[in-house]
Structure 1
Amino acid sequence: MTHPTSKRPPAAGRTLAASLGLAGALALATAGQAQAAPAAAAGTGAARSAAAAGAGEGAAGGRWTDVPHGFASLAGGTTGGAGGKVVTVTDQAGLAKYAAAEEPYIIRVRGSIAVEPFGADIAVASDKTIVGMGDTGEIVHGELHLAPGTHNVIIRNLTIRDSAVEGDWDCKDTDFDGIQMDTAHHVWVDHNRFSNICDGQLDIRKDSEYVTVSYNRFENNNKTFGIGWTSNVRTQITVDHNWFADTKQRNPSVDNAAYAHLYNNYLTAQADPDDPVWTYGNWSRGKTRMVIENSYYRDVQHPYQADATAELVERGSILQNTTGRHDEWGEAFDPHAFYAYRPDPAAAVPALVQRFSGPQKRVGDAVTLHVPADYPTVQAAVDAVPAGNDGRVVVAVAPGTYREKVFVPAAKPNISLQGTGQKRSETVIVHDTPAAYGGSSGSATVRIAASDVTARNLTFANDFDEAAHELNGEQALAVKTTGDRIVFEDTAFLGNQDTLMTDSPAPATVSRVYIRDSYIEGDVDFLYGRATTVVERGVIKALSRGSATNNGYITAPSTWKGNPYGFLITRSRIVSDAPAGTFHLGRPWHPGGDPDAVGQVLIRDTWLPAAVKSAPWTDMSGFSWKDARFAEYRNSGPGAAVTADRPQLGAEEARAYTVAAYLRGTDGWAPHTRH
């Protein structure tokens, strides 16, 4: 916005680098490329392997990682459709189209897809992620088929069911698998449910390599999970945290695998236990080298067995009411020589596997796009999100400095921007555009027009150097929002004039923004706009412009007259390096002289510095602050006072101006209750 009285004195200029030092000693890169930590930049190598290392650990967080572990994490890793666009499919035609495409895709399956004709294949090409949304995505009487040469595929969070033919228990006349792959490599099959399928629920065949099968439920089947079908000894596979219930054989059967690592699996309630030969648990066949660790077998016939030519090492498992073969011979191999992992105790396996295996809402709740591992810039990841996005997409930004401008258009809601560093200062999105080169809105480093957007653990900055330029238009926004239901948590907003603008698409349209545990700094009108905005438990730094009388204004609301709620700053701390009595709490902004923009600000339960003026509200562009809706309540600190120039709410009035009241709207939005 244009402020006729907001020009910075030329001699008092300060660079954003100095500001960053006060906000956390950030060092902004000047290069145009994102500069990320080497391990994170590796993407498919060290960083992903390290991130996946704890996938089998007891902490619940490891159950939900979107990074594969085990053998699928090796030799370049398995990233699926990462780097491609995100799509949602609801029918067979859509699934078939995107699954078979040449380019990478992240394919979200919404609801149930019935495949026709019965038992037909859906071809899956390389570089695909297929994931069920929520916990209800399913493929009914159809097969996902990976032809020879297919690689880099992730299949997660689906139910694949009911391709069995009634009366054909042995499936001699059909070959309707749930998932079948031939000579494929780098495949992760995770958190799926397989039920009532002919022939195999999961067939990994013909020298497929670098495969991990984790947290799946296999149930109600005969030939459940087979691995092999050649005399070559090439396959490397990790099988962990799977539940086999009411399944007869191949749980799994592993034929001529170079390395088969089975750990923390739960086998129980075998189908047809009266068959003395072909009802069994794990089988190490041919020249397979198999290691079984910390699994749990209950009511299982032949829990684990090995051919005389195979090797099988078992350690730490629990066997309850088992009969038949318990073969152990040979040295097999050491899985730790290939990847890091830590098995759960065998005694914990039944509860863990019953709780976490199969489709999970948390797994299907969001798709994660990694920057820069899979997308070179934050904007590239946003561009991958489809218009009309109907599922949560997390843009996970690795530590580094990203010198770019980011725009989240209105047609792309449900996006979360998430810094993955330990501190918000480690991940910075910054640019240096002033309003003189594109208007106030065009100056914003990050502009969010979509609704239902969140940002966490990030720093947003505009490092335009006012002191180095003489421009008519020094406003330089770090962030502008116009969407509704936007949350910023543990974020920093760095700039000088007009740092953060929270707005709405039209004057009478109410948009809501919730800012928690965050840091905002600037000098002139650096928290402004017409959105209903709550700043809770924040730190607001009013920067000195070197003046002995007037160093600036914290707020400049343009709240529509029909909206009772503008800005609420509560349970926060305002700090300043400006001299005592030189900073205003705010002034009323009437864009274009609009008389219906009647600003509302309440600062309550907040610490105020000595820099705050004794008469902290002031006029703007001919509009009196007394006609606006400015008030304080129960503030403290050297800058707090109760005078005729400082309207105060009474206790009864204050009960109507709470965080909940500002945010609830007509839909009951309550992001403040989620913490």
Structure 2
Amino acid sequence: MTHTLHSKRLHGRAVPLVLAGLVAALVTPAQAADGSPAADTAPAPPTAHTWSDTPHGFASLEGGTTGGAGGKVVTVTDQASLARYAAAAEPYIIRVAGSIKAEPFGAEITVASDKTIVGVGTSGELVQGELNLKPGTHNVIIRNLTIRDSAVEGNWDCKDTDFDGIQMDTVHHVWIDHNRFSRICDGQLDIRKDSEYVTVSYNRFENNNKTFGLGWTTEVKTQITIDHNLFAQTKQRNPSVDNAAYAHLYNNYLKAPLDAADPVWTYGNWSRGRTKMVIENSYYDGVQHPYQADATAELVQRGSVLKDTTGRHDEWGAAFEPGDFYPYRLDKAASVPRIVERHSGPQRTIGTDTALHVPGDYPTVQAAVDAVPAGNDGRVTVRLAPGTYREKVRIPRDRSHIALVGTGKRRSDTRIVFDTASGEPKPGGGTQGSSGSATVFIEGSDVYARHLTFANDFDEAAHELPGEQALAVKTTGDRVHFEDVAFLGNQDTLMTDTPALDRIARVYVHDSYVEGDVDFLYGRATTVIEDSLIKALSRGSDSNNGYITAPSTWKDNPYGFLITDSKVVSDAPAGTFHLGRPWHPGGNPDAIGQVLFRDTELPAAIKSAPWTDMSGFSWRDARFAEYRTYGPGAAVNADRPQLTDAQAADFEVDDYLRGTDGWAPHRDH
């Protein structure tokens, strides 16, 4: 297949794109369309150094390089699994956890098209083996791996072996990023035979003779970007570039080559054949022949630092202008050693959180969730572009460590919504029930949702059904965390439950918005709602407009619902809304609900006697209380149990959430 490069002129200095460590900018707070408070803003920038999961440079052109996006995410710990998934016909994101020792020595693992191979943190290694991309392979990302030790002791020149670290022949759209190569025989990275649209960034090339070569062709086709790489204790091919149409090298750090006394074959960058090479803002320390060019090649160098260099410093020809093809940002040459030493090679933050994009990688939220493997042990973040996703989403019990994150400026920009009610018939008979009505049902544990709106927009007035409960979200998983989220509905908006009556599951809702009318915060999970806005919607009654809570806490669990440091608002008339009532599912007497409103503002809509009975069970047998509530709806009377200061000391956020594992999401802000 022939690929035509279309150049694009950019006016002025190219815009910053390539540095993956750039963090998102803060945005100005704004009022949400759902009426929730000004906390409805973009997520704060991360505190740790983060890296882009999309390539820059030549690998970003002509459709870009997406690797295994759209495929399943799998974790491998052995050679057989790595080889099976890497060679598969379908796309995969392959996480390499731990060290994989290839057998026999120098074994070749074929990598097929549409693959991402990424090391998990700093643990992923391939020892004495090679990753090989055959002719025609395309759309491959290899990141965050250590590939090492296929060199035979005493065989420094490797004349009789071909044990490369990564070898590719006649491929296109490949990104090699944040890897470490050490002691490889023959080449650490060989990019051969008219390969195109390649970017090699933030890698560490160490302890080698023939390090990084490109060419082995008489054609002049290859386009390659090489940036922010470390070459340390490497003798030659750092890199050697033969017959490349365009080779852009910038912000690389070359230092202390082995066998520097060799007058010919110890060198840095070499523009060979008819290559057009541009070198910018690199740093050469103690390098013999830092950059050189054949008489038939072209080489432009600008802005580099030369420290104790000797030999050839060739510059001739016009080469090309990289900014004609893609945007990039140059770091100062003097800063390159610090930047490259610190940020090249495997990073502990890469591979531990796999990003899936909707739309883009996957057409729906559910498709992205389905790509997560059962029993996954690493965080997978589903990043949702602004828009309305009209679908039902289920995160099953065997999927954990999933994050759903909206990427709009406001949480109202990204909505997951559906319109099912519990009384709606199911295919095959029966009705949906509460679980079936939920727009989002989270059975998995360690699930995090941020900067999103979840809604059930079932229209009660337009339908007559035997059950009109319509959940926006139901949870049964443990350690479920909602941050900057809106829950929109009427009856039964948010159900936080557990897999069984005597099981504990914890949910933390922070800086969020919940609205509804009847029992719209309910279930038996241990649930904390903190720093949030709760809106009690009027049903048009002048006496009873609804109930905020309906807990069904297990009798031996002291912690049900805690609503703290929050604000309740309502458009209902004064004295027409209840704080809650006790729910005993199926009449089970062991469901003894617990609710505490603490340090929370209450509106005039709250009744002076705010707790009420349900289905024959008295609210006085439940565990309902207030502590330091205030506002026009707050009062102290015989129908409003209050905790003492001593009692309240045992009912703080930490008491509800810490469990036996010390879970403490509230301490992250």
Q: Which residue of 2 aligns with 1:101?
A: 88
Counterpart AA for 1:645: D
Q: Which residue of 1 aligns with 2:366?
A: 379
Counterpart AA for 1:276: P
Q: Larger % of helix: which? A: 1
Counterpart AA for 1:425: S
Q: Which residue of 2 aligns with 1:427?
A: 414
Q: Is the 8 A contact 2:16 2:327 kept in 1?
A: no
Counterpart AA for 1:55: A
Give the TM-score taking structure 1 as reference length. Answer: 0.91
Q: Which residue of 1 aligns with 2:119?
A: 132
- Equivalent of 2:637, from 611, 634, 643? 643
Q: Which residue of 2 aligns with 1:456?
A: 450
Aligned equivalents of 1:56 and 1:584: distance in 2? 50
Q: Which residue of 2 aligns with 1:229?
A: 216
Backbone CA RMSD of aligned residues: 1.6
Q: Deviations over 1:530-582 (max 9, x none)?
A: 00111111111111111111111111111101111111111111111111111
Aligned equivalents of 1:91 and 1:50: distance in 2? 42
Q: Which residue of 1 aligns with 2:35?
A: none
Q: Which residue of 1 aligns with 2:506?
A: 512
What SS does structure 1 have at the residue aligned with 2:349? Answer: helix
Q: Deviations over 1:276-316 (max 9, x none)?
A: 22111111111111112222222222222222222222222
What SS does structure 2 have at the residue aligned with 1:330? Answer: coil
Shift of 1:324: 2.0
Q: Is the 8 A contact 1:54 1:62 kept in 2?
A: no
Shift of 1:642: 2.1
- Equivalent of 2:475, from 478, 481, 498? 481
Shift of 1:58: 8.8
Q: Which residue of 2 aligns with 1:581?
A: 575
Counterpart AA for 1:479: V
Gaps of 5+ in 1: 1-48
Aligned equivalents of 2:618 and 2:313: distance in 1? 87
What SS does structure 2 have at the residue aligned with 1:673? Answer: helix
Q: Kindly indicate whether residue 185 of structure 2 is the aligned counterpart of residue 202 of structure 1.
A: no
Q: Is the 8 A contact 2:21 2:51 kept in 1?
A: no
Q: Say how many residue pairs are matched.
A: 627
- Equivalent of 2:104, from 117, 122, 143? 117
From the superposition, tell whether residues 550 and 508 of structure 1 become closer, same or farther in structure 2 (CA, over 3 Å): same
- Equivalent of 1:662, from 643, 656, 659? 656
Q: Deviations over 1:480-517 (max 9, x none)?
A: 00010111111111100000000000011000011111
1:237-316 counterparts in 2 under 5 A? 237-316=224-303
What SS does structure 2 have at the residue aligned with 1:561? Answer: coil
Q: Deviations over 1:147-181 (max 9, x none)?
A: 00000001111110000011110100101000000
Aligned equivalents of 1:307 and 1:351: distance in 2? 32
Aligned equivalents of 1:602 and 1:463: distance in 2? 29
Aligned equivalents of 1:77 and 1:577: distance in 2? 51
Q: Kindly indicate whether residue 487 of structure 2 is the aligned counterpart of residue 500 of structure 1.
A: no
Q: Which residue of 1 aligns with 2:612?
A: 618
Q: Is the 8 A contact 2:564 2:598 kept in 1?
A: yes
Q: Deviations over 1:189-216 (max 9, x none)?
A: 1111101000110011111001111111
Aligned equivalents of 2:645 and 2:320: distance in 1? 72
Q: Which residue of 1 aligns with 2:73?
A: 86
Aligned equivalents of 1:93 and 1:51: distance in 2? 41
From the superposition, tell whether residues 189 and 63 of structure 1 become closer, same or farther in structure 2 (CA, over 3 Å): farther
Q: Is the 8 A contact 1:632 1:647 kept in 2?
A: yes
Q: Is the 8 A contact 1:56 1:343 kept in 2?
A: no
Q: Deviations over 1:433-467 (max 9, x none)?
A: 00002111110001011111111111111000001
Counterpart AA for 2:300: V
> Which range is displaced more, 287-296 or 474-483?
287-296
Q: Kindly indicate whether residue 514 of structure 2 is the aligned counterpart of residue 549 of structure 1.
A: no
Counterpart AA for 1:430: V
What SS does structure 2 have at the residue aligned with 1:227? Answer: strand
Q: Which residue of 2 aligns with 1:214?
A: 201
> Which range is displaced more, 133-142 or 281-290?
281-290
From the superposition, tell whether residues 507 and 50 of structure 1 become closer, same or farther in structure 2 (CA, over 3 Å): farther
Structure ranking higher on relative contact order (CA contacts 8 Å, 6+ apart): 1
Aligned equivalents of 1:424 and 1:476: distance in 2? 21
Counterpart AA for 2:200: V
Counterpart AA for 1:534: V
> Which range is displaced more, 150-159 or 324-333?
324-333
Q: Kindly indicate whether residue 336 of structure 2 is the aligned counterpart of residue 349 of structure 1.
A: yes
Shift of 1:607: 1.6
Q: Is the 8 A contact 1:131 1:364 kept in 2?
A: yes
Q: Deviations over 1:86-106 (max 9, x none)?
A: 111111111111111111111
Counterpart AA for 1:67: T
Q: Which residue of 2 aligns with 1:38?
A: none
- Equivalent of 1:533, from 527, 530, 534? 527
Gaps of 5+ in 2: 1-13, 25-46, 425-431
Give 4+ residue runs of structure 1 displaced > 4 Å after superposition: 49-54, 56-63
Aligned equivalents of 2:343 and 2:668: distance in 1? 23
Q: Is the 8 A contact 2:16 2:329 kept in 1?
A: no
Give the TM-score taking structure 2 as reference length. Answer: 0.92
- Equivalent of 1:72, from 31, 50, 59? 59
Shift of 1:346: 1.9
Aligned equivalents of 2:16 and 2:285: distance in 1? 32
Counterpart AA for 2:531: R
Q: Which residue of 2 aligns with 1:55?
A: 20
Counterpart AA for 2:298: E
Q: Is the 8 A contact 2:15 2:328 kept in 1?
A: no
Q: Which residue of 2 aligns with 1:180?
A: 167
Shift of 1:635: 2.0
Shift of 1:62: 7.9
Q: Is the 8 A contact 1:57 1:344 kept in 2?
A: no
Q: Kindly indicate whether residue 128 of structure 2 is the aligned counterpart of residue 141 of structure 1.
A: yes
Over the matched positions of the two proteins, sequence identity in percent amounts to 77
Counterpart AA for 2:323: H
Q: Is the 8 A contact 2:281 2:304 kept in 1?
A: yes
